[in-house]
């Protein structure tokens, strides 16, 4: 079994990249489980998402982070219990979420997370400029989350760049075909049969 994580800031195209990855793996006859965080069908995921849409600043951010962590840990337990029936597991959002903590805490928090939580086999960081991300977020027509402002997206991307050195970075500022090509290149270089 290969465990993939597709991560990045809001509006970067994580879900699109994850769908491409899943589709490619399934086209090869593989059985794939994909889990997006926060998870809609799980109580802690729905609560995390609800807190991400609250106005009021740091308090709601902290509660969203706590429930997000609980959601990810629940997914890890689920995979441990039920993952044997799959050839591949894909998490959309995982450890790069530490980029939402204050800048001075990001490197230390990331080291702690990478020490405590299991490390995936293949880590993909979907990168895009904050301006492009914000335009995509607005185009969805949904209410904005706490971190979905141009300024917050710029800060978040800067913090992700601090910690993404060992990630496979894909540039999602071009076409979907270019993104898919990069995903396939990662699969060919990272995954050994």
Least Cα distance to 109 among 99, 124, 122, 94 occurs for 99
**Per-residue confidence in pLDDT tens, the chain, 193 aa:** 999 999 999 999 999 999 999 999 999 999 999 999 988 888 888 888 777 767 766 777 777 788 888 899 999 999 999 999 999 999 999 999 888 888 898 999 999 999 999 999 999 999 999 999 999 988 988 777 777 889 989 999 999 999 999 999 999 999 999 999 999 999 988 765 4
Residues 121 and 99: their CA atoms lie apart, in Å, by 21
Domains in the chain: ranges and CATH:
2-188 (3.40.50.300)
- pTM of the predicted model as reported, rounded to 2 decimal places: 0.89
């Amino acid at each position: 079994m290969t465990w993939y994580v597709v991560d990045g800031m809001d509006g970067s195209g994580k879900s699109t990249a994850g769908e491409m990855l899943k589709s490619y793996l399934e086209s090869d006859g593989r059985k794939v489980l994909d889990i997006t965080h926060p998870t809609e069908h799980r109580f802690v995921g729905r609560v995390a998402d609800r807190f991400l849409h609250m106005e009021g600043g740091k308090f709601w951010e902290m509660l969203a982070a706590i429930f997000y962590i609980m959601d990810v840990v629940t997914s890890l337990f689920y995979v441990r219990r039920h993952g044997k029936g799959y050839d591949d597991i894909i998490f959309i959002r995982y450890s790069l979420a530490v980029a939402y903590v204050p800048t001075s805490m990001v490197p230390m928090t990331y080291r702690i997370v990478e020490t405590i939580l299991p490390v995936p086999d293949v880590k993909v960081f979907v990168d895009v400029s904050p301006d492009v991300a914000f335009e995509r977020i607005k185009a969805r027509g949904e209410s904005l989350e706490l971190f979905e402002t141009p300024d917050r997206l710029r800060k978040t991307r800067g913090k992700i760049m601090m910690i993404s050195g060992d990630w496979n970075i894909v540039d999602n500022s071009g076409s979907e075909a270019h993104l898919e090509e990069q995903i396939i290149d990662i699969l060919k270089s990272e995954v050994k049969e």
